[in-house]
Amino acid sequence: AQSVTQLGSHVSVSEGALVLLRCNYSSSVPPYLFWYVQYPNQGLQLLLKYTSAATLVKGINGFEAEFKKSETSFHLTKPSAHMSDAAEYFCAVSETGGFKTIFGAGTRLFVKA
Amino acid sequence: KAGVTQTPRYLIKTRGQQVTLSCSPISGHRSVSWYQQTPGQGLQFLFEYFSETQRNKGNFPGRFSGRQFSNSRSEMNVSTLELGDSALYLCASSLGRTAQGTDTQYFGPGTRLTVL
């Protein structure tokens, strides 16, 4: 069965600092992996997705994530945090040929001035 | 191109009532998925429709049902509402050309349901 674990329900960084949001997955088949962002009172917006084409995936707003099969991880990073990055971030997994997307519990990112 | 729209945005119901939520996908998208988001359980998959057929279903009781029309618009119905059904209900649309896992989903803003 698929599952996603996001380490840390809350992460706080200073503006300009590195953002690192951790995600580990479990899947019996090669997975498709996603990072979404959700701002208050809004739906989810896709940041980036891994579909086996390249292990380092670049997304919108300067975010990127690296797929590491040996560590079953797909951590999200951004070199320099901006105040506008404050939001909730969700890691998600979907199996090849599957129809369901399984979401992690989410990590709320706080950015301090 | 207009995004995914959901109506209504906010809804208040009492226990035992039923409710219908609506989702209009992006033009050209044939797949619509529904999710329930709560603080305790997070985001949970309800079901997915493609070309008026339910392709997959999550682990929710039969009180939760859905349908999709020929224009790809979808409705979700919850009967005999319980307090625990209070949640943000999100729908997402995609082209549906391949399995959901490979197709980008675009989410609507959600319908916030409160059950009193």
Q: For residue range A40-77, list pLDDT tens digits in order.
A: 878 899 999 888 778 899 999 999 999 998 999 999 99
**Per-residue pLDDT, B98:** 63
Q: How many residues in total does chain A contain?
A: 113
Chain centroid offset of residue A47 CA: 8
Is any Cβ of chain A less than 8 angstroms from the Cβ of B105? yes
Question: Between the CA of residue A103 and those of A6, A54, B79, what are the distances in Å?
Answer: 9, 22, 25
Is any Cβ of chain A less than 8 angstroms from the Cβ of B83? no
Please state, in angstroms and rounded to a whole number, the distance separating the CA atoms of residues A79 and A49.
Answer: 19
pLDDT for residue B99 is more than 60: no
Phi, psi of A38 (to 5 degrees): -130, 120
Of B45, B100, B107, the CB nearest to A43: B107
- Residue A72 DSSP class: T
Beta carbons of B101 and A97 less than 8 Å apart: yes
A99 chain-B contacts, CB cut-off 8 A? 48, 55-56, 99-101
